[in-house]
Chains A and B, each alone.
Chain A
Amino acid sequence: MRRFASVSLRGAMHVWRRNLTVYAKTWHLNVLPNFFEPVFMLLAFGLGIGHYVQNGPDGTSYLRYIAPGLIAYNAMMGASFEVTYNIFVKITFARSYESMLATPLEVEDIVLGEILWAVTRATLYGGIFLLIVTLFGAVEPIHALPVLLVLPLIGLLFASLGLVFTAIVPTIDLYSYYYTVFLTPLFLFSGVFFPVTDLPAWVQPVVPFTPLYHGVRVAQDFAHGRAETGTWSSVLVLAVSGVFLTLLAMKRMRRRLVK
């Protein structure tokens, strides 16, 4: 507990700024694909599949139904990329953290800085997607801002979750399991493409324990201008588990980095 209490936000921001310094050098190369992806997805899922699916489950067009879920998914992926392969390489090959730990920075500051950076990337990644779908008319401009505010929460949850995995994963090859066995099913079965209530009855009890479901739910509700008790409890689930997993990531990363 003493270590959690002495986390330096200033130190974390130095780590965050280091990543920004690197990103600023190549942002024009990195950011462009983020614009293409939503266009392709909207064309394929919204207009392609949407052509056969006349209406979304809530009566709106299928494009409008899937748009918020795809935004949530992109925030998840934006955070995950940052804390998986990138951090693993920093630990094992670049030895970046060894150099940082020789300064006043502690493991917990570094973890917080990396998570805040992943949150930033998730917000940027999902935010560009949001911008495009709003331009396509799939989200009302007036609802775009509340949806934007959900993205850091989704980012926090998946950044800390991915970092816990990175802290315990022995080899880089195991990330393919994280992506295909964990993140892909979340993408397909969290209500992005069809409501989770259409899932088989035996799966239903599991749904509230899957992380992307809450992100999709909040994004959809905000995008469609409705906020119910369930919406707010999902906001709470995102925030509380994000904070809990951040503390767990700190603990696990200390075990990994300090020998």
Chain B
Amino acid sequence: MPRMAEADVVVHARALRKLFGSAVAVDGIDFDVREGECFGLLGPNGAGKTTTSKMVTGVSPRTSGELDVLGRDIGRFGREVRRSLGVVPQDDNLDQDLTVAENLLVYARYFDLPKKKTLARIDELLGFFELRARAKARVDTLSGGMRRRLLIARGLIHEPRLLVLDEPTTGLDPQARHLLWDRMRTLRASGVTLMLTTHYMDEAEQLCDRLLIMDEGRIVAEGAPRALVRDNVAPEVVEVRGPAETRKAVLLAVADVIEKDEALEERLMLYTKQGDEVIRLLSAHAGIETLRRRATLEDVFLELTGRRLVDR
């Protein structure tokens, strides 16, 4: 019997835990993914995002806790659940011995799809992902962006209800990323539930309706991207670059108009509700550069963990 509390919950995780030997990868997390939303797991490398997504897709068994996917316990009904589940892995595991179209055709067989229906679906997907002209090309002749699009097309071959994507745009150039984001929005609009992991805060902000911020196997925060920013940090940030000895004077000058400051190695971050005022007060200081911007999830992560999302 399904143990779901609500009918529109497609992933239901409670006290979900994963150990590799004695190392804790995921440390007892709770979350729900709802039908039709784009749900994100945001966090730095090693936060437990990939392990979580591998448990959700049934590729990696959980150590303990509850995990129902599409209404059934993924540990017991993996084969059945994966019939309606699409997976886009982080590592390119396309079949190098096959062409673009053959990759989709062979993969469709694993789902017992009838050939005639598959051929129509392949044509549709190749069109959607702008790969039709390369249908007969060998996979190793494709660009990184094309390969990633093919990986997503492969994950959609059986028209899954839920698509799980692990770091879908890592390593891609900006143009390729924007094309992928655009396609993922279209998918979401067509009713496919998306669950994605990412360590890019802009990706999480652009795509996700709701997200979990993870760090060291735990959930640090949960909510809609804008709400997470609103609830955790001041709305604006002024970044100040300059010699270390100027910092003291800068902080003294803006002390009354900032909420919080964060000193990083190469810059000083000033969180404020009064950006205009901060800029005005600092304009008199020589030898520093200022950059005023909206607060982002990156700032939320920094605020909550004291560390940055991506090492630069």
Which A residues fall within an 8 A CB radius of B? 6, 8, 10-11, 14, 17-18, 21-22, 25, 94-96, 98-106, 258-259
Contacts and interface: CB of A to CB of B under 8 A. Distances in A.
A104 B93 contact: no
B96 A14 contact: no
A96 B110 contact: no
Interface string B35-68: 0000000000000000000000101110000000
Residue of B60, B78, B110, B112 with most chain A CB atoms under a 10 A cut-off: B110
A18 B106 contact: yes
B98 A99 contact: no
Interface stretch (B81-89, B126-134, B209-217, B246-254): B81-89
Nearest to A8: B79
11 contacts: A17-B106, A21-B106, A95-B89, A96-B93, A99-B95, A99-B107, A101-B59, A102-B85, A104-B112, A105-B110, A106-B78
Contacts of B83: 104
B57 A14 contact: no
Nearest to B102: A21
Nearest to B110: A103
Residue of A6, A18, A106 with most chain B CB atoms under a 10 A cut-off: A18
A2 B112 CA distance: 22
A259 B82 CA distance: 18
A105 B82 CA distance: 9
A258 B60 contact: yes
B265 interface: no
B106 A10 contact: no
Given A96-B93, A99-B107, A104 B82 contact: yes
A230 to B, nearest CB: 43
B182 interface: no
A108 to B, nearest CB: 11
Interface in B194-242: none
Contacts of A99: 89, 93-95, 107, 154
Given A18-B106, A99-B93, A99-B154, 4 more contacts: A102-B85, A104-B110, A105-B79, A258-B59
Nearest to A25: B97
Contacts of B273: none
A259 B91 contact: no
Interface of B: 20, 57, 59-61, 78-80, 82-83, 85, 87, 89, 91, 93-98, 102, 106-107, 109-112, 154-155
Contacts of A18: 95, 106, 109
Given A95-B91, A104-B83, A14 B110 contact: yes
A259 B57 contact: no
A18 B78 CA distance: 22
Residue of B57, B83, B93 with most chain A CB atoms under a 10 A cut-off: B93
Contacts of A96: 93, 95
A14 to B, nearest CB: 4
A98 B91 contact: yes
Contacts of A104: 79-80, 82-83, 110-112
Contacts of A95: 89, 91, 93
B102 A11 contact: no
A30 B46 CA distance: 44
A190 B43 CA distance: 59
A98 B89 contact: yes
A165 B20 CA distance: 24
Contacts of B80: 104
Given A21-B98, A258-B60, A103 B107 contact: yes
Contacts of A105: 79, 110
Contacts of A17: 106, 109
Contacts of B155: 102
A106 to B, nearest CB: 6
Contacts of B98: 21-22
A39 B176 CA distance: 54
B96 A94 contact: yes
A104 B59 CA distance: 11
A258 B63 CA distance: 13
A11 B111 CA distance: 9
Contacts of B78: 106
A96 B80 CA distance: 21
A101 B60 CA distance: 10
B86 to A, nearest CB: 8
B97 A22 contact: yes
A103 B60 contact: no
Contacts of B60: 258-259
A14 B155 CA distance: 17
A223 B94 CA distance: 45
A103 B58 CA distance: 10
A98 B80 CA distance: 17
Contacts of A14: 109-110, 112
A106 B79 contact: yes
B106 A98 contact: no
B170 to A, nearest CB: 16
Contacts of A103: 82, 107, 110-111
B93 A98 contact: yes
